[in-house]
Amino acid sequence: MRLIVTVGMPGAGTDELADVARGLNLATLKMGDLVRDETRRRGMQITNANIARVAAEEREKHGLGIWAQRALPKITETKMLVNGCRSDSEITVFRHNFSDLFILGVYSSPETRYNRMIERARGRDGEGLQEFYERDRRELKWGIGNAFALVDGMLVNEVPLPEFRVQARTMLERILRKETD
């Protein structure tokens, strides 16, 4: 099994990377969907505040690796990309369960990420610069900075979308080729 796990701050481009992966016939799993599913299960509206609350409550109750643990049963394909790792604890869960694992970081500057989030105007991105920075602080508190320190490779996404897609495809193909080396 070849598992690729992405790490990236909101707006960095991990969703675009996952789209490229699907274009290469890789199965994908978005860890944020697990949190949104739990939020719905609790009968709560899908808002940034509710998603953050549920994610934090589950981490406090079950530990920082809980969302990776909940992802494990859904990782069923021989080649797969898991999108949205948020902590070194989650990376530990994946490393413990998969020997053929590649952690891929996607980095974009805060200014670039904020501008993208304003342009795409998804409701769950929040509103305004203050909420953007609050979300970043929350992600950092969960350990995403430590997760970045553990990546096996990095894509810097400060380029136009078509160029990033080419870079992402090239990187994914390189990672997948290593499987046969």
pLDDT at 125 (0 to 100): 47
Using alpha carbons only, give the angle 162, 139, 23 rounded to the nearest 5 degrees.
30
Using alpha carbons only, give the angle 165, 23, 68 rounded to the nearest 5 degrees.
90
151-172 pLDDT, tens digit per residue, is: 999 999 999 999 999 999 999 9
Segment 67-85 shows an average pLDDT of 96
What is the percentage of the chain residues whose pLDDT exceeds 90?
80
Segment 86-114 shows an average pLDDT of 96
13-70 pLDDT, tens digit per residue, is: 999 999 999 999 999 999 999 999 999 999 999 988 899 999 999 999 999 999 999 9
pLDDT at 49 (0 to 100): 87
Q: State yes or no: pLDDT of 99 exceeds 80.
A: yes
Q: For residues 55 and 35, is the Cβ–Cβ distance under 8 A? A: yes
Q: For residues 34 and 71, is the Cβ–Cβ distance under 8 A? A: yes
Domains of the chain, start order: 2-31+64-177 (3.40.50.300)
136-152 pLDDT, tens digit per residue, is: 998 898 899 999 999 99
CA dihedral 156, 165, 19, 84 (to 10 degrees): 0
Whole-angstrom distance, CA of residue 62 vs CA of residue 78? 28
Whole-angstrom distance, CA of residue 64 vs CA of residue 56? 9
DSSP letters, the chain, are -EEEEEEE-TTSSHHHHHHHHHHTT-EEEEHHHHHHHHHHHTT----HHHHHHHHHHHHHHH-TTHHHHHHGGG--SSEEEEEEE--HHHHHHHHHH-SSEEEEEEE--HHHHHHHHHHH--GGG-SHHHHHHHHHHHHHHHTHHHHHTT-SEEEE--S-HHHHHHHHHHHHHHHHHTTT-
110-133 pLDDT, tens digit per residue, is: 999 999 888 876 544 456 788 888
Count, residues in the chain: 181
Look at strands 79-85 and 2-8 and give their pairing: parallel
Segment 97-110 shows an average pLDDT of 96
pLDDT at 135 (0 to 100): 87
Nearest to 64 by CA among 147, 7, 126: 147
pLDDT at 179 (0 to 100): 53
What is the pTM for the complete model shown?
A: 0.90
